Structure 1
Amino acid sequence: MKVIGLTGGIASGKSTVSQYLREKGAAVLDADAIAHALAEPGGSIYCAYRSHFGDGILQSDGSLDRAAIGKIVFADPAEKEWLDKAAHPLIQAEIERQLAVEKQREVPLIVLDVPLLFEAGWDKMTEENCLVDVSEMVQLKRLMQRDGYDEQAARARMAAQMPLEEKRRRADRLIDNNGDLPATLRQVDRLWKEWTHDGFSQ
């Protein structure tokens, strides 16, 4: 079975593609979900953040206040750098653990769903890397609609990520998600057949 890296910029539609691959039978390792689990009280990320930032980033129930952490790291590049250096090895270790488990199972495809696939260097864990690609204008429009940002706030979040042009250069495959959903899923179907050597759609 192949291990495919799936990535995309913010509001690119990566989650939609990931869910479709899961429905087709792929084992999807979702880096965001893994990070969220590790950030629960007692988890490795939770302990690292609490030690670094102090109890001021905890909510009344003891869980992490993600909005408070977001404000800190968005305003201070040094804190953002620390957060990435602290969290990424912990998330990678859990991904590698889950990857080893999935390789023992009879699954047609393993997908690493990672927003920061290239930034974190996790593309080295995969055999091919696929980018869900959109134009900057489509990305901007979808981000504003989805999260309610004004244009300035949306552009700031887009600018905080690796430019899509660089991701396109690094990716082995592109899924064009500028059009409608059926057009996107048809591309995924074609890739599924290539990746799994399955001549029949599921």
Structure 2
Amino acid sequence: MTSGESAVSPARPRRLGLTGSIGAGKSTVARLLRERGLTVIDADAEARRVTEQPEVLAELEAAFPGVVVGGTLDRAGLAARVFGDPALVARLNALTHPRVRARMAALEAEAAARGERWVVQDIPLLFEGGLEKGMDAVLVVDAPLELRLERALARGGLTREDILARDARQLSSEEKRQRATLVLDNSGPLDALERQLDAALRQLGIL
């Protein structure tokens, strides 16, 4: 490279935000998007990886004593500790969110280097975090409440009351639908969901 020349970074891929209320089927849609060749960056998975790092575990234990057990984060215990306390939630977010964002930015840069035109950012609390502003389009997966409860209960680990409490902390399904670019209604069979997804991707110019 001669003097005066500068490295040109690949253009940022367009971002398709993917979100939905608990039990709506967001993970199923993420899988279908991967099957269609799209890079899906999973915010929850990146958060788990971040909280496996020794330095992050040390910071979490210092901030919330007792949440690291045998070198592993007690996620349920940490969630119970901060639940309902905005100050503790803010403290937790300050520790983890910058690192998660950095990991997601690195994965997006890798997709850009591969020449990908779109990436999917799978973010459960996309609207709640104000992250829709950074998206080029937002896809919301939705289903009726009772069906969502049934699915979430079938996964195990949460009671009906737990699920309803989590759902109540998020924007309502109606609000998410209003803010979405496109909505997938996941109240029917898988093939119906796939048809809706393919139509949405065509409408956005992704397929």
Could you say which residue in structure 1 is the equivalent of 2:165?
Answer: 156
Could you say which residue in structure 1 is the equivalent of 2:112?
Answer: 103
Could you say which residue in structure 1 is the equivalent of 2:154?
Answer: 145
Could you say which residue in structure 2 is the equivalent of 1:81?
Answer: 90
Distance change in 2, residues 1:85/1:167 (3 Å) = farther
Contact kept in structure 2, 1:88 and 1:120, CA below 8 Å? no
Quote the offset at 1:75 in angstroms: 5.4
Q: Which has the larger radius of gyration?
A: 2
1:2 is the counterpart of 2:36? no
1:39 is the counterpart of 2:51? yes
Q: Deviations over 1:155-181 (max 9, x none)?
A: 112112222222112111101111111
Structure 1 portions without partners, runs of 5+: none
Could you say which residue in structure 1 is the equivalent of 2:7?
Answer: none
Distance 2:34 2:160 in 1: 33
What TM-score do you get using the length of structure 1 for normalisation?
0.86
1:59 is the counterpart of 2:79? no
Could you say which residue in structure 2 is the equivalent of 1:133?
Answer: 142
Identical columns (%): 37
Code of the residue aligned with 1:93 in structure 2: it is A
Two-structure CA RMSD over aligned residues (Å): 2.0
Distance 2:203 2:176 in 1: 22
Q: What is the number of residues matched between the two proteins?
A: 195
What TM-score do you get using the length of structure 2 for normalisation?
0.84
Could you say which residue in structure 2 is the equivalent of 1:195?
Answer: 204
Could you say which residue in structure 1 is the equivalent of 2:127?
Answer: 118
